[in-house]
Amino acid sequence: MLSRRRFMNDRIASENGDNLVLQNVKGSKMNALTVYGHSAQDATPSLENPVPIVSAGDEGEINVSVSDGGTQSQTLTLSTPGGLPGIPVDSGGNYTDENGQQWVCDEADLARGKCVHRVGIIDSYMDELIDDPYISTTGQLSNGAMVYYILATPTETDLTSEEIAAYQALHTYTPNTTVSNDTGAWVKVGYREWRR
């Protein structure tokens, strides 16, 4: 009966952002972990001055760290060939950042064991038909530009068995847990919190 009371006195909570400090945490397995991508340019692109598009995980992987903020930590490495891109939108996004901006972005949903692809990439644009919104290295749909656009129909691929096993081994720390990553990707974490 005591263990049931303990279970009844905690609740499932979730937080999202790029680097999270979870408080009032009951150390246990994570209930969910989703990593969301996004893309950015460090200047305004133009035909005369193309600007590269940089996405979370462009280097081929994202390392997610779960720690007690001190000496204990765990790391999950996600393979991200091509990165996890994302495009800002006015509505209909699958992620909303801390400023209220909605994004359509690729995501790795570890609880489901799937990577959901919502953004397509054209390495060298040649008059393909795509709808707004999009981002490009030239700021427009110009021949030769790299273009990121929203897929009409998202696709899913399976995460590796190693990634799923690493996720299943992750746990939170009592009383606080820090969740961060090395690429600025956004994360959403489901965890047990002591009921207040």
Q: pLDDT tens per residue, the chain (196 residues)?
A: 223 334 445 667 778 888 899 999 998 999 899 999 999 999 999 999 999 999 999 999 999 999 998 999 999 999 999 899 999 999 999 999 999 999 999 999 999 999 999 999 999 999 999 989 999 999 999 999 999 999 999 999 999 999 999 999 999 999 999 999 999 999 999 999 887 6
Kindly give the pairing relationship between strand 86-89 and strand 95-96: unpaired
Residue 72: per-residue pLDDT:
96
76, 166 in Cβ contact below 8 A? Answer: yes
Residue 9: per-residue pLDDT:
53
Q: Can you list the positions of beta strands (E) in 90-176?
A: 95-96, 102-105, 107-109, 114-122, 134-136, 147-158
Tokens standing for residue 26: 């009951």
Tokens standing for residue 124: 């060298």
Residue 194: per-residue pLDDT:
81
Q: Where are the domains of the chain?
A: 2-194
3-state class (DSSP) for residue 165: helix
3-state class (DSSP) for residue 144: coil
Q: What is the pTM of this model?
A: 0.91
In angstroms, rounded to a whole number, what is the distance separating the alpha carbons of residues 90 and 107?
19
Tokens standing for residue 94: 């699958």
Closest CA to 115 of 167, 169, 66, 181: 167
